[in-house]
Structure 1
């Protein structure tokens, strides 16, 4: 393995940008990426954008050949000026993380935690209960017409399959949209 591969470092920069400032931020981001690319040891940058209500999350992953070259970029006057310029557009400041590895895995901060299980259980119960009462009644005419389908195993397979397909593809998506505000954590209102 070459010396460069062994020492490659990754800088992860996370910025939460107020939604009304995204176009200005994106113009600024193009400038800072161009400036960083001129630094010695710069190996490339990737940008991942995600969205939450009222805020856009930008995660920039910069790679440098050596830790000292990354530190020179972080301490540079150019970067300090650019960060000072963008601060008013950010919700939570300039968040940095350094990993001394060529490969870097991350989960965006914007990834929401699932709702509490008790809330998931309530919505699931509200969807499945009516179906478990209604679907067997809808299959009754077929079971009476063709007695073989009315047997224990075939009838349970048809009823269960019907309920699962209706829940997954039709009713659960509607229910999660209907209860979205209750299932999701409250978000702060975006400040101007």
Structure 2
């Protein structure tokens, strides 16, 4: 699926938390590689990120994005995923915990259900701080292309191209990374 055909408003995310038994870590890693490969083969798959434990504990968080809710639901309901989940359950301390989010709410959804969402002003400030520098950097990068191809320099085509070059990295790369790095501030009282 190309970037031009993705409706960013319909992107959905499956987040799975697994607390792995310490003695089962090598088996879990092997299972995880097979599961990630299986998810990548699914229609509408947009990417997988695995957040491995840092330091103590063995809590893995896997984030899987799909272009549409129906495509994600097909993966969740698939026989292949059911077999993979059944295979991993003996390796886990607390079972399989999948959560589905649309991408906009996922940015600021706390990792653990007992923590509330950050205040809206913090969400707005962080989003502003991420998008503002991009709005200053991306348009000049397109300058040479706009000079060479004047048809792209029109108000509509240039705005569409610049916006696409800002939105895609923000949604898929920057905001997920920034919200993880700023989690302490976002969730502080």
TM-score, with structure 2 as normaliser: 0.53
The corresponding residue for 2:65 is 63
Structure with max Cα Rg: 1
Deviation at 1:17, TM superposition (A): 0.2
Partner Cα distance (1:11, 1:76) in 2: 14
Partner Cα distance (1:103, 1:42) in 2: 19
Q: Structure 1 residues 37 and 73, CA, compared in 2 at 3 Å: closer, same or farther?
A: same
The residue correspondences of 1:1-192 to structure 2 (distance < 5 A) are 4-51=7-54, 53=56, 55-101=57-103, 104-105=106-107, 106-109=109-112
Deviation at 1:101, TM superposition (A): 2.0
Partner Cα distance (2:54, 2:24) in 1: 13
Deviation at 1:107, TM superposition (A): 4.7
Equivalent residue pairs, number: 108
The corresponding residue for 2:145 is none
Deviations 1:121-169 (CA, angstroms, capped at 9, x unpaired)? xxxxxxxxxxxxxxxxxxxxxxxxxxxxxxxxxxxxxxxxxxxxxxxxx
Q: Structure 1 residues 30 and 3, CA, compared in 2 at 3 Å: closer, same or farther?
A: closer
Q: Structure 1 residues 49 and 3, CA, compared in 2 at 3 Å: closer, same or farther?
A: closer
TM-score, with structure 1 as normaliser: 0.52
Superposition CA RMSD, Å: 2.1
Structure 1 segments, 4+ long, off by >6 Å, are: none
Partner Cα distance (1:7, 1:25) in 2: 31
Contact between 1:16 and 1:57, CA under 8 Å: does it hold in 2? yes
Q: Flag the structure with more relative contact order, 1 or 2, with Cα contacts below 8 A and sequence separation at least 6.
A: 1
The corresponding residue for 2:138 is none
